[in-house]
Structure 1
Amino acid sequence: MATAKLDKGGRLTLPQDLLGSHHWRAGTAFTIEDRPEGLLLRPLLAPAKPARETAAGHGDGGGRDRALAEAMRDRYARLGH
């Protein structure tokens, strides 16, 4: 189990191996949920990058990827993760 320590400024530094395994980088934003057993951190979804336009000028803007990510986030929330 990994541990972390609060500094005087109230900042918590996560262990490097956890950051790497979750692909979190500096600037990653999180939601914080207060639960009876402690705090639950969930990374916010990164804004979808615009999809490349097709020859006809149509692109879905990452809509399918965004919908999948939202569905996965909702499923994990229902499972209590």
Structure 2
Amino acid sequence: METSKLSSKGQIIIPKAVREAHHWWAGMEFVVESSGDGVILRPRKPFPTTRLEDGVGCAGYEENFMVK
């Protein structure tokens, strides 16, 4: 078990072994969630989650299109 200390600026160092195990690098963004008596740290997804329906209009699809 690794330990770290909170700085006066509110920063905490994630031990190198943990960063390497999760493939985290400098500048990576994280989502921080409060959970019970601790926090959950998750890497932020580079793009928002989308659904197929959200992108269909980009392809010029028309629902009432009829083939002759």
TM-score by length of 1: 0.53
Encode CA deviations 1:25-75: one digit per residue, 9 max, x unaligned.
01111111111121111111234xxxxxxxxxxxxxxx9xxxxxxxxxxxx
Structure 1 counterpart of 2:22: 22
Pairwise CA RMSD of aligned residues? 1.6
Higher Cα Rg, which structure? 2
Over 6 Å off, 4+ runs: none
Structure 2 residue runs of 5 or longer lacking an equivalent are: 51-68
Matched pairs, number: 48
Structure 2 counterpart of 1:6: 6
- Of Structure 1 and Structure 2, the greater helix share is in 1
Task: State the shift of 1:4 in Å.
Answer: 1.1
Query: Percent same amino acid among aligned pairs?
Result: 35
- Whole-angstrom CA distance in 2 between matches of 1:9 and 1:43: 21
Q: Residue type matched to 1:39 in 2?
A: V
Encode CA deviations 1:2-41: one digit per residue, 9 max, x unaligned.
1111111111111001111101001111111111121111
Structure 1 residue runs of 5 or longer lacking an equivalent are: 48-62, 64-81
- Whole-angstrom CA distance in 2 between matches of 1:4 and 1:45: 25
Q: Residue type matched to 2:20 in 1?
A: G
